[in-house]
């Protein structure tokens, strides 16, 4: 998150992050903040961090924009403060939808589903596949792989409200995916490239058997703060553009204003805004 802010030339970037019970912030977080030139770090997380950044406190400054994913409480808090501060999007809890046909590797698919499920008990993972055989093989792999996961209890809770859906073909699967608008969409099917033009709602798309969502989280270059809970139908993920604020400028000559005068006055008067029209007429009436 801090890298696009750094590239965009933001003057001040602050970080709010929870600490452990001993008041210590994870060393990896501190190192990343250091090389990304974070201005200030505050030991606070959750919805309370959102409130602090939106309204300001004695120690935490009020900011112009709040970026970053979180749990359902963080997401709700960000939406509540939108009238006070800009946010990137509703981002969290995490989710993934995998579209798979008989060319998929069930062990890979299972690992992708588990990767999202371990985020938290409110994460959701979806498999949309073209046969019962694929669904059964992926289910077996999930059972094998989750046994060794340190967060298997969290994974189990997440899987309780996750879904396996079987459809006739990948085209139908993409149609369903567009309705669901997943945060992460993985295409594990032989027609992946042919399906790309049909995808209209997704936070980030991972194409082929060797494009795990984990790559997008950590190393492949895309930002991993993405819209969830169907908001991919309306929002894009964070990018460099998210950190810019645009201002437009215009300067007209007298000749230029005359060439636009008829359009301006006609439209203004059609709206019943005579003063708008007069602001042009007064100028072009001077010789």
- Give the active site residues: 183-184
Report the C-alpha gap between 47 and 66 in whole angstroms: 12
Question: Are the C-beta atoms of residues 198 and 176 closer than 8 Å to each other?
Answer: no
Residues 6+ apart with CB under 8 A from 27: none
Residues 6+ apart with CB under 8 A from 140: 106
Q: Which two tokens stand for residue 91?
A: 């981002």
The DSSP symbol for 139 reads H
- Phi and psi at 45, nearest 5°, equal -135, -175
Does the bond joining 170 to the residue before it have cis omega, within 30 degrees of 0?
no
Q: Which two tokens stand for residue 68?
A: 């970053």
Question: Are the C-beta atoms of residues 244 and 8 closer than 8 Å to each other?
Answer: yes
Pairing relation of β-strands 95-100 and 184-188?
Answer: parallel
Helix (H) or strand (E) run with residue 163 in it: strand 163-166
Pairing relation of β-strands 124-129 and 163-166?
Answer: parallel
- Phi and psi at 251, nearest 5°, equal -140, 120
The total of other beta-carbon atoms located within 10 Å of residue 47's CB is 18
């Amino acid at each position: 998150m801090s890298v696009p802010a750094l590239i965009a030339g933001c003057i001040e970037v602050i970080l709010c992050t929870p600490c452990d019970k001993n008041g210590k912030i994870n060393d990896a977080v501190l190192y990343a903040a250091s090389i990304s030139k974070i201005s200030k770090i505050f030991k606070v997380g959750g919805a309370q961090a959102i409130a602090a950044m939106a309204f300001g406190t004695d120690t935490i400054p009020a900011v112009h924009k709040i970026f970053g994913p979180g749990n359902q409480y963080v997401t709700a808090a960000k939406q509540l403060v939108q009238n006070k501060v800009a946010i990137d999007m509703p981002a969290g809890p995490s989710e993934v939808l995998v579209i798979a046909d008989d060319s998929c590797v069930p062990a890979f698919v299972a690992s992708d589903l588990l990767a999202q499920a371990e985020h938290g008990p409110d994460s959701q993972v979806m498999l949309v596949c073209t046969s019962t055989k694929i669904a059964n093989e992926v289910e077996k792999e999930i059972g094998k792989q989750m046994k060794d996961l340190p967060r298997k209890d969290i994974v189990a809770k997440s899987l309780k409200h996750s879904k396996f859906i079987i459809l006739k073909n990948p085209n139908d699967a993409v149609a369903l995916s567009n309705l669901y608008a997943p945060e992460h969409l993985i295409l594990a099917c032989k027609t992946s490239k042919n399906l790309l033009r049909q995808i209209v709602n997704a936070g980030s798309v991972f194409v082929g058997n060797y494009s795990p969502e984990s790559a997008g989280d950590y190393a492949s270059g895309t930002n991993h703060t993405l819209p969830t809970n169907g908001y991919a139908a309306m929002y894009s993920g964070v990018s460099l553009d998210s950190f810019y604020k645009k201002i437009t400028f215009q300067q007209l000559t007298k000749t230029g204003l005359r060439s636009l005068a008829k359009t301006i006055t006609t439209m203004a008067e059609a709206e019943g805004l005579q003063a708008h029209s007069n602001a042009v007429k007064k100028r072009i009436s001077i010789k």
